[in-house]
Each structure stands twice: as C-alpha cells, then as structure tokens.
Amino acid sequence: MFTKAIAAFTLVAFSATSLAAPASAPVTQSNPVVTITLIDATQHHWPITVPSTQTWTPTNVAESISHVHVENTGYVPCAFFGVDGTVIVSFPGDVKDLDVGPPQTIVGGICGPFRHE
C-alpha cells in the first residue's frame, strides 16, 4: 500500500512539472537612448538617436543648426558638440528646446556616465 502511494505521488508530481509552463527568459534591460533633433533655419529636422554606452555618435548632418530638441529618457547625462565650440548638455529626464548660437554644424555627441579622474 505504501509503495502504491509513493508511486502515485511520483506520477502526480512528474505530471504537474511536465505540464507547467516553461520558464521565461530572463528580462534584460536594454541601454536607454537619448534623442536629439537638429533643426536648421528652414525648419528641416534630423532626429539623431544616441545610445547611453559612452560611444561617440556622429550626426552626419553638415547643415548649420539653429535649434535642437532634446529628449533624454535615459539615465545618464549627454553632451553634443558643435564645430564652433558649442556644447549642448542634457541630463536625465530633460525634454527641452534650445537655440544654437551662433548657428553651426553639430558634429556628434556622447551619452553615458562621465568620470572625473
């Protein structure tokens, strides 16, 4: 009798585990991105997406930029650089419109935790 009870329990336990839903894949958080939209004097728009991986990202836009729209939904600060010395800084949570003066080409940017050494 005891042997039949163990066999029945083993069968039920095996059936329950084999019918259970498969384990889901672990959730990995992707690197957040920051979007900067470059805007020239004639209102042409060039959206640029920059990863928060401390990687230099060129804009590949040669036009003279008068305005930028920044959406920093990432968790890190960013800096974008113009050919005439303009530096546009964005902090986590920033959503803002900025004038670029004097208008100039924005050559690229970098987002990620900055270290002071």
The per-residue pLDDT for 22 is 52
The per-residue pLDDT for 75 is 84
The per-residue pLDDT for 116 is 59
User: Does residue 7 register a pLDDT over 50?
Assistant: no
Residue 46 CA to residue 96 CA, distance in Å, equals: 16
Q: Which CATH number fits domain 33-111: 3.40.30.10, 2.60.120.1150, 1.10.10.10, 1.10.540.10?
A: 2.60.120.1150
Query: pTM for this structure?
Result: 0.69
Residue 30 CA to residue 48 CA, distance in Å, equals: 18
The per-residue pLDDT for 66 is 97
Beta-carbon contacts of residue 63 (< 8 Å; ≥ 6 apart): 38, 40, 44, 46, 105
Domain boundaries, the chain: 33-111
Tens-digit pLDDT profile for residues 61-112: 999 999 999 999 878 999 999 999 999 999 999 999 999 999 999 999 999 9
